[in-house]
Amino acid sequence: MQLAGLDIRRIAIVFIVTLVALYGGRAASYNLKVTRPLHQFFAHYKEVLDYTARQCADGLCVSVTLDNVQDIQSQYARLWAGIEEATGRTPAVLNVADRRDEGLEETFRRMRIHIEEALAKGSFYAMSQAIDEEAKQADLDRWGVDVDSYYVYVQLHKGENYLYEIIPRGARREQHSPITLSNLQSALTKKTL
C-alpha cells in the first residue's frame, strides 16, 4: 500500500520497531541503574524484610517492610542514604511498613495531639514527656520519640508488634499534609535529608 510514493507498511513496521527498541532500552536502563543496585543494597540490609520499588509521577517510590529495629530515626537515615547511593537518585517517596496492631494504633492516636502541638509550638520536650506518659499507660514494652530538622520519629513496641511513624515538620508540612497511617505505611516526601 502506497501513499504519495511511500510504502505505508514499511513505515509502520519501522515505527513499531523503533518504539519497541526505545521502550526496551528504557526498561533495560532502569533495571541496570535502579532495580539491580537496590536489590544489592537491600540484600545486605538485614533489617529490611521486604521491599518494592517503582517509578511514580514524582520519581522513584520505594516501600520497605522493616523488622523490629532499635532506632527508627537512624534506620530511616541509613535507608535514605543507601537508596540514594545505590541508585544515584533521591527517592520521591519512602514508605515504611511495620507490624502494628489496633492497640498500638490507638495508643498512637492518643499521642498524636501532643505531636501536633509540638509541631505547632515547638514544645518538643513537653511532647516527649506526654508520649512517655501515654506509653506507660498503654503498658508498652519499649517506645521512642526523636526529632530532627525534617521529621518527628515515633516508634512503639509491644510484644511481637511494633509501629513506626515518621511525621514531616516545618515547611514540608505545608507542602505535604501530615501523614496518617493505615495499612502499615508511612509516606515520606522527596525533599528530605
Across the chain, how many H-helices and E-strands are there? Answer: 6, 9
Per-residue confidence (pLDDT) for residue 174, from 0 to 100 = 38
Per-residue confidence (pLDDT) for residue 22, from 0 to 100 = 64
> pLDDT, tens digit, for every residue of 1-36?
556 667 777 777 777 777 666 666 665 555 556 678
Residue ranges per domain, the chain? 7-97, 102-186
What percentage of the chain has pLDDT greater than the value 90? Answer: 48
pLDDT < 70 stretches in the chain: 1-5, 19-34, 171-193
SS3 29: helix
Distance, CA of 135 to CA of 104 (rounded, Å): 10
Q: How far apart are the first and last CA of the chain?
A: 59
Per-residue confidence (pLDDT) for residue 130, from 0 to 100 = 96
Place of cell 536502563: 29
* C-alpha of 166 from chain center: 9
Fold (CATH) for 7-97: GMP Synthetase; Chain A, domain 3 (3.30.300)
